[in-house]
Structure 1
Amino acid sequence: MNKIFTILFLTFCSLSVSAQQFSQYNTGTLYDSFENPSQRSFIPDSSRAVAFNFFVPNFDANLYLTGHIQRPLKSRAFASPAFYNTSSLRIGQNALNHFNANANAYAIMLKFFTSLNGNVEMGFSAQTRVESRGLATDESVAFLDGPSNFAYNNYDNIFNDHYMIQMYDQLSYTYREQVNKQLSIGFKLSYLSGIQYDKIDVGQSSLQINRDPVDPNNDNADVYMQGRYYRSYVPGRLDGRDFLPTFRNPGAAISLGATFRTEDGILIQGNIKDLGFIHWNKRSTITDFDNTTNITDITSEHRDENIYNAVYALVRGNGVVTSFNTKTNAKAELSVSKSYWLDDEKTFRYFPTVVAQKEMFYPGFTGALVNSVQKNNLIATLTATYDDYKLFNIGAQIMVKSPNAEFFIGSERLVNTGRFTLAALNNTNQINHVGNYSGADVFLGFSLKFGRVIEHPMNSSYIPMGEKGFFGRLFGRIFKTDN
């Protein structure tokens, strides 16, 4: 598979959100407590005092691709032999296709229960995030298959694409405290280390195809583009060493969360997640491109690579070497949940959660209904989500969870993940299928607890001496609740 397709498809998709993993809400897993900082992960008189993932990655990765370009990209990726099936494309209609790809992988999650007076928890984590989104026209993909898809020789503004990818490491400290019986508060402070940033915005474009009436092998094209390109500095080719945290591209982020339990047992949780920035170093470049390039050899089997090389040279141009700042994909969330026992013996528990999520710097809005049923150590979850792209999804999760061990696996896009998997296995029907979107989602997690058992003083041989936490002391002083 050549360079252009690798960049246009695999980079957009297989790297894939920060994506919130809705199925984890109110499960009390270690992953849940790092993503939702007011959520507890320890249960006094049941759990041990230290939780760790033992370097087993806990991750969430997702992607989706909408519009007419689903079929040609899937056929180019998965069909054998590979080719662009362009039958679904609409040339000259300014049709736009959305793509979105995110990943969030924790390499280290370590958390301690430090005090019974306030149920104080503190932890440290190391994770890597990928955020990618964009818009691509039908014609951008059709041109990779050569000039045969274009009935005319001249087109305007058919390559007005927008694309962004941001990768960074995140080293965090998290703190959670039960202020009183109803209110818990948590925060997560993070140092960010930028890995790579690329962003292209094309404002104007045109295509002129120069056809040779005698020999089609001599066909060529003039492509004009005007816009801006941001590119972070990476020493050499991107490799595994670049994914280690450094001070080359520093940044910071904060997450804040609060959970309130009403008198009738309703949990109301609010979060501001990963509100931050990254400062890309002074060896990065910003290019304002406004030029035309002539592309030859656009009918051979190497046409897509030739097109990529020519367009990439055009947008890079003579950029200005300078630093710049970018935002992280911060989110605001609000959820409401309540638990119900389904039998008199209290062996079956049902706890539904309604979640509303808004991306703070982008148009994205998602609503979710999370339905979880628990029997003993087994939890089954069914999730329904709907977003402002009018994409409806059904997800599922299976979790095995005891006070000191947990494992979960699932998908927020169950049906489409299955279809995408079949397409990757060269299923012709799924390769040619064009639905609301093509995409996939998968998440997985594992952690264990060890150390002493957290016990209350009345029935413990070990007497904890921890004091009330910071928020508890502050709350007591403000509302005069301290004795």
Structure 2
Amino acid sequence: MKKALCLFLVINCSITVSAQQFNLYNSRTLYDVFENPSQSAYQIDTSRRIAFNFFIPTVTANATANGSENAAIKTLLYNGRVDGRNIAIEQNKFNTIAFNTNNYIAMIRVLHTVKKSQEIGLSWQIRDDGRIKVTNETLAAFDDYDLFDDVSSANGFFNNKGYNQSYHQFGLTYRQDVTKRLSIGAKGSLLSGITYTAFKVKESDFAIDQEEDIINVSILGNLRSSFLFDNLESKSFRPNFKSPGLSLTAGASYKLRNGWFAMGNLKDIGFIKWNKNSFDYNFNAVNIEVDNASSSSTDDRLLDSLDQKISNSRTKRSYFSLLNGKAEILINKNYGNYQPNLIISKSLYYEGGDIVLTNNYHYRNFVATASAGYNTNRYLAIGGQLMVKSPNAEFFIGSDHLLKSLEMIKYARDQTPPYSGGYTGASFYMGFGLKFGRILEHPANANFIPGMNEPWGTRFLRRIFRKKEK
């Protein structure tokens, strides 16, 4: 019973939330220049003309869970159970769960001209973004709904909400130097929606009649989904543009005096139009009574009753969803081999924000990074990164939640409580890039002059400057 009840109180929905790898900001890697389009991937007179990842994906993934009941979340995650007796109820408190990915399948960047450092790039990435807020009472119900026997009113206990959307993103980027100090860049993208789910329980209640051993359940809310939960086909994950969308990222960077550097972005401002075969549920499942005394099939009967009530409210129609656009600012000051960056990132349409300090130490072609970031969900994340970077090659691996990721590995092997305090989190990213082609140089230093270094050009010069025969 309790499993079915909890399943539908969160509307039978798997929520995932898209990643930002702050340690890669201002690194001038391929990932950085596509995420922050005013950045340059090149060192003039040193770098080769074309940068490419050779279809080796840059993989990024983050997951966090935080709220008033971190201990219960950890027990559920590592041990598959919750001790609801220790969960504070009737206090209107929430827990936030998030998982996000941003994977670049292909990235290619071309230095078009040395003058003004004009760069053009194409990219294909697969993204997923979302968030869920779960009440303490929902977690407690995973243990035993009898914990609510003495509660006078359970109204609003299960008013959970969340969203998730995944999509392909095909981007075209352009950047250039406006002056020696000011650079601008933009990234326009065509989107192909994969899946979308958003729900909000506006009203919820349930009551237990101990004498009759009957449960009465009521939920009122809205659910939108681009697919049926029991009929998600593999072909839905291919780019097909049946649910198209557009997005725009624009940014600028400025080199101040005394080694200071500032960068700002409006990132992923856009939408997806989900096709007319998407589903909209305005459900009002009230006064569903289930006899708990008859048999062990009570779970199934409650599940079937809620499923029928919600399914009966289903209509097919098209609708729009907004992307999780962000506003970001980065401030940097170089101190020789040590380069700190202060980053402030805030979601524009949804909840969430970060304040992050990254600390980069450069030694020859190696970069070690340590970071500390405060998230508006009230937790502090410690991250780390190792990078090998030359003017024409790069490889990096890291985590924005390094300590918590190691903790998850530890508890995956040893599921014995008590667990550590604080939020639960995991993060991992890895990427590769390589530059090839001829080196584009300043005209004054160029070893290669277009039209002159070619065979026909050298023959032309020899004819002009050869000595005349007597």
1:454 pairs with 2:440:
yes
| Contact residue 9 and residue 160 of structure 2 kept, 8 A | no
User: How many Å separate the matches in 1 of 2:315 and 2:410?
Assistant: 45
Counterpart in 2 of 1:198?
197
User: How many Å separate the matches in 1 of 2:198 and 2:220?
Assistant: 14
| Contact residue 70 and residue 422 of structure 2 kept, 8 A | no
* 1:144, distance to aligned residue in structure 2 (A): 3.1
* 1:370, distance to aligned residue in structure 2 (A): 1.2
RMSD over aligned Cα atoms = 2.9
User: How many Å separate the matches in 2 of 1:202 and 1:227?
Assistant: 4
- C-alpha spacing 1:404/1:94, structure 2 compared with 1 (3 Å): same
User: How many Å separate the matches in 1 of 2:60 and 2:295?
Assistant: 39
Aligned residues: 446
* 1:77, distance to aligned residue in structure 2 (A): 4.0
1:99 pairs with 2:97:
yes
Counterpart in 2 of 1:84?
82
**TM-score, L = length of structure 2:** 0.86
Question: What is the one-letter code of the residue matched to 1:93?
Answer: Q
User: How many Å separate the matches in 2 of 1:88 and 1:299?
Assistant: 30
Counterpart in 2 of 1:353?
341
1:326-475 → structure 2 map (5 Å cutoff): 326-341=321-336, 349-429=337-417, 432-433=418-419, 435-464=421-450
Counterpart in 2 of 1:148?
146
1:176 pairs with 2:175:
yes
- C-alpha spacing 1:101/1:190, structure 2 compared with 1 (3 Å): same
1:62 pairs with 2:56:
no
* 1:220, distance to aligned residue in structure 2 (A): 4.6
Counterpart in 2 of 1:28?
28
User: How many Å separate the matches in 2 of 1:192 and 1:86?
Assistant: 43
Candidates 232, 237, 254, aligned match of 2:248? 254
Counterpart secondary structure, 1:43: coil
Counterpart in 2 of 1:469?
none
Candidates 265, 268, 276, aligned match of 1:282? 276
Candidates 306, 316, 325, aligned match of 1:321? 316
Counterpart in 2 of 1:478?
none
In the alignment, structure 2 segments of 5+ residues that lack a partner are 452-470
Q: Percent identity?
A: 35
User: How many Å separate the matches in 2 of 1:12 and 1:390?
Assistant: 23
* 1:49, distance to aligned residue in structure 2 (A): 1.2
* 1:306, distance to aligned residue in structure 2 (A): 7.0
Counterpart in 2 of 1:238?
232
Counterpart secondary structure, 2:86: coil
| Contact residue 11 and residue 199 of structure 2 kept, 8 A | no
Counterpart in 1 of 2:207?
208
Question: What is the one-letter code of the residue matched to 1:207?
Answer: F
Counterpart secondary structure, 2:378: coil
Residues 268-294 of structure 1: per-residue CA shift (max 9 Å, x gap): 101010000010111212222122234
User: How many Å separate the matches in 2 of 1:7 and 1:127?
Assistant: 33
Residues 46-86 of structure 1: per-residue CA shift (max 9 Å, x gap): 1111111122221221121123554444434432xx43333
Question: What is the one-letter code of the residue matched to 2:259?
Answer: G
User: How many Å separate the matches in 1 of 2:300 and 2:172?
Assistant: 44
User: How many Å separate the matches in 1 of 2:309 and 2:136?
Assistant: 21
* 1:176, distance to aligned residue in structure 2 (A): 1.2
| Contact residue 290 and residue 298 of structure 2 kept, 8 A | no
Question: What is the one-letter code of the residue matched to 2:377?
Answer: Y
* 1:140, distance to aligned residue in structure 2 (A): 1.5
User: How many Å separate the matches in 1 of 2:9 and 2:154?
Assistant: 25
1:264-275 → structure 2 map (5 Å cutoff): 264-275=258-269
Residues 188-220 of structure 1: per-residue CA shift (max 9 Å, x gap): 00011111111111111101124467xxxxx55
Residues 313-372 of structure 1: per-residue CA shift (max 9 Å, x gap): 44443223211111000001111112112xxxxxxx111111111111124232111111
- C-alpha spacing 1:98/1:388, structure 2 compared with 1 (3 Å): same
Counterpart in 1 of 2:124?
126
- C-alpha spacing 1:10/1:173, structure 2 compared with 1 (3 Å): farther
User: How many Å separate the matches in 2 of 1:248 and 1:366?
Assistant: 34
User: How many Å separate the matches in 2 of 1:123 and 1:325?
Assistant: 28
Counterpart in 1 of 2:37?
37
1:109 pairs with 2:118:
no
* 1:410, distance to aligned residue in structure 2 (A): 1.1
Counterpart secondary structure, 1:395: strand
* 1:303, distance to aligned residue in structure 2 (A): 7.7
Question: What is the one-letter code of the residue matched to 1:111?
Answer: R
- C-alpha spacing 1:245/1:392, structure 2 compared with 1 (3 Å): same
- C-alpha spacing 1:302/1:460, structure 2 compared with 1 (3 Å): farther
Flag the structure with larger Rg. Answer: 2
Question: What is the one-letter code of the residue matched to 1:142?
Answer: A
Q: Judge which range, 285-294 or 442-451, deviates more.
A: 285-294
In the alignment, structure 1 segments of 5+ residues that lack a partner are 214-218, 342-348, 466-483
User: How many Å separate the matches in 1 of 2:12 and 2:281?
Assistant: 25
User: How many Å separate the matches in 2 of 1:299 and 1:375?
Assistant: 71
* 1:255, distance to aligned residue in structure 2 (A): 0.2
* 1:434, distance to aligned residue in structure 2 (A): 6.3
* 1:297, distance to aligned residue in structure 2 (A): 6.0
| Contact residue 275 and residue 330 of structure 1 kept, 8 A | yes
**TM-score, L = length of structure 1:** 0.84
User: How many Å separate the matches in 2 of 1:36 and 1:306?
Assistant: 52
User: How many Å separate the matches in 1 of 2:440 and 2:20?
Assistant: 30
User: How many Å separate the matches in 1 of 2:304 and 2:74?
Assistant: 22
Question: What is the one-letter code of the residue matched to 1:27?
Answer: S
User: How many Å separate the matches in 2 of 1:160 and 1:192?
Assistant: 32
* 1:222, distance to aligned residue in structure 2 (A): 1.9
